[in-house]
């Protein structure tokens, strides 16, 4: 259901300088009328937000960049938009961090990650260039951000000698004396891979080839690769395209997110040694392009895009699209990548209210804790006319059903998502913010992240033996107009 086809290429690739102030004011005014615009999630003031980029802890702050198309809720000319925060409650809006202003990124500053080195944060990105025949010329590039916030580009460090035009999203880390980079890459035989590069000086990179796993022929492209270690275990995290499954849980969205846990990356053979089966961190409708970083406390923090390529939501009518997930700390437990909402977010919570059966809502930004030891329950968000979404459980699985929303979209991919239930007794956290729901199930071993659209959302109800505690959530600060 892509509205992008309604835009011409010239319209989509307009730069921000070409957009009149009147047009910007009109988009912002429309967005302000949207009751679905979140209050404690990061979303664009106008235009389209997609992948989180350049996440890092630098100079005493968490720095968050994201892909931004200012022309409207459409994929077109990409910029890196820049925010920072010390506590995930108070934010500073730095505006555009990287502009598509060089020949090598003439058609967009595409995604990438950050590496903090000495007194700089190095921002690696894909330069997206189209030639006169509209053929894509992707290169891996970097810029330096100094402690005073100035960002300066340093050009191309890797040209594309081994892959198709789908070669993007560099993520860099340091291991001993080596710098290592993974890039999402489509091999010449048109299968996806995580390409590995190695350098001693950040300028000259040796191609080590695709990281070798049992999944060398999975899908036609892997986007937004990340590679990191937790407790001496290696994690490959990526967003594969062109993957489906026969089981009721995995790979049900147009594109999904996957991870592979292994012992270590062998730099000589580029093999992830002794790795587990591929797994999915999120079973919701809208979770893509996650990126992670280490903060000053040694926490591995993940932020994802709540949205999907090629899927348009009802927010588009209000001239904005996409938001970032809540920041989540990652740990490894029982062979799973476990996610938990950062404890800093507790500062946004209001007083605890116990819910017996039904709660009339006085705000649509809140969180709920569901403590259960029962096989079946049903948690419903609804309006007065009965439009709803329902999160329910039986003994073996969870279900999120959005087939009865006020506004449906992406129905061709189904309106129901299921996830395995790993234990009867568990405490589930549900974060709701206007038109987004993030559900932490199975002790964080899985999440279900989704947009939903209910006009005049007014009540919450629970059926089953579930201790239900509700808390309102205050808005994050510093990003309002």
414's tokens? 């189904």
CB half-sphere exposure, 471, CA atoms < 13 A: 16
Say how far apart CA 464 and CA 323 lie, in whole Å.
Answer: 32
Active-site pick, 25, 34, 51, 375: 51
The verdict on whether 51 is a catalytic residue reads yes
Say how far apart CA 26 and CA 17 lie, in whole Å.
Answer: 16
Taking alpha carbons only, the member of 438, 198, 259 closest to residue 342 is 438
Q: What are phi and psi of 202, to 5 degrees?
A: 70, -5
Instruction: For residue 236, give Cα distances in angstroms to 112, 194, 305, 330.
Output: 16, 9, 18, 13
Instruction: For residue 107, give Cα distances in angstroms to 76, 144, 166, 186.
Output: 8, 21, 14, 20
Say how far apart CA 412 and CA 385 lie, in whole Å.
Answer: 25
CB half-sphere exposure, 77, CA atoms < 13 A: 24
Residues 6+ apart with CB under 8 A from 221: 166, 184, 186, 192, 240, 241, 242
Sign of CA dihedral 346, 348, 353, 359: negative
27's tokens? 């988009």
Instruction: For residue 355, give Cα distances in angstroms to 26, 113, 361, 367, 371.
Output: 41, 42, 11, 12, 12
Q: Which residues are catalytic?
A: 51
């Amino acid at each position: 259901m892509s509205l992008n086809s309604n835009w011409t290429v010239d319209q989509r690739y307009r730069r921000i300088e070409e957009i009149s102030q009147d047009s910007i004011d009109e988009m912002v005014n429309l967005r302000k009328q949207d009751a679905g615009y979140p209050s404690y999630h990061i979303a664009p003031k106008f235009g389209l937000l997609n992948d989180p980029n350049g996440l890092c802890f630098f100079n005493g702050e968490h720095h968050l960049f994201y892909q931004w198309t200012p022309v409207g809720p459409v994929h077109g000319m990409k910029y890196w938009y820049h925010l920072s925060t010390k506590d995930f409650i108070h934010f500073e809006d730095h505006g555009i961090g990287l502009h598509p202003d060089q020949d090598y990124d003439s058609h967009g500053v595409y995604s990438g990650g950050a590496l903090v080195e000495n007194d700089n944060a190095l921002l690696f990105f894909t330069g997206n260039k189209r030639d006169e025949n509209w053929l894509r010329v992707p290169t891996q590039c970097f810029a330096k951000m100094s402690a005073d916030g100035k960002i300066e580009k340093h050009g191309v460090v890797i040209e594309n000698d081994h892959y198709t035009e789908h070669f993007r999203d560099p993520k860099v880390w340091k291991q001993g004396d080596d710098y290592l980079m993974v890039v999402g890459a489509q091999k010449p035989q048109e299968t996806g891979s995580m390409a590995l590069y190695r350098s001693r000086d950040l300028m000259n990179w040796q191609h080590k080839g695709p990281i070798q796993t049992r999944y060398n022929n999975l899908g036609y492209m892997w986007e937004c690769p990340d590679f990191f270690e937790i407790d001496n275990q290696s994690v490959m995290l990526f967003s594969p395209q062109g993957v489906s499954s026969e089981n009721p849980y995995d790979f049900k969205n147009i594109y999904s997110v996957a991870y592979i846990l292994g012992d270590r990356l062998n730099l000589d053979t580029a093999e992830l040694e002794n790795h587990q089966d591929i797994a999915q961190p999120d079973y919701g409708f809208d979770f893509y392009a996650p990126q992670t970083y280490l903060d000053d406390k040694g926490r591995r923090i993940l932020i994802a895009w709540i949205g999907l390529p090629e899927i348009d939501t009802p927010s588009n009518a209000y001239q904005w699209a996409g938001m970032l997930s809540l920041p989540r700390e990652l740990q490894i437990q029982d062979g799973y990548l476990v996610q938990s909402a950062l404890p800093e977010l507790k500062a946004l919570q209001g007083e605890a209210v116990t819910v017996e059966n039904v709660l009339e809502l006085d705000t649509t930004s809140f969180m709920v804790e569901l403590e259960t030891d029962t096989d079946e329950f049903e948690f419903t968000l609804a309006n007065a006319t009965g439009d709803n979404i329902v999160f329910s459980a039986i003994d073996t699985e969870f279900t999120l059903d959005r087939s009865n929303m006020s506004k449906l979209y992406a129905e061709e991919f189904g309106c129901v998502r299921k996830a395995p239930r790993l234990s009867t007794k568990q405490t589930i956290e549900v974060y709701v913010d206007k038109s987004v729901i993030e559900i932490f199930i199975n002790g964080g071993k899985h999440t279900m992240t989704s947009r939903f659209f209910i006009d005049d959302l007014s009540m919450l109800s629970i059926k089953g033996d579930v201790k239900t505690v509700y808390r309102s959530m205050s808005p994050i600060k510093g990003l309002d107009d």
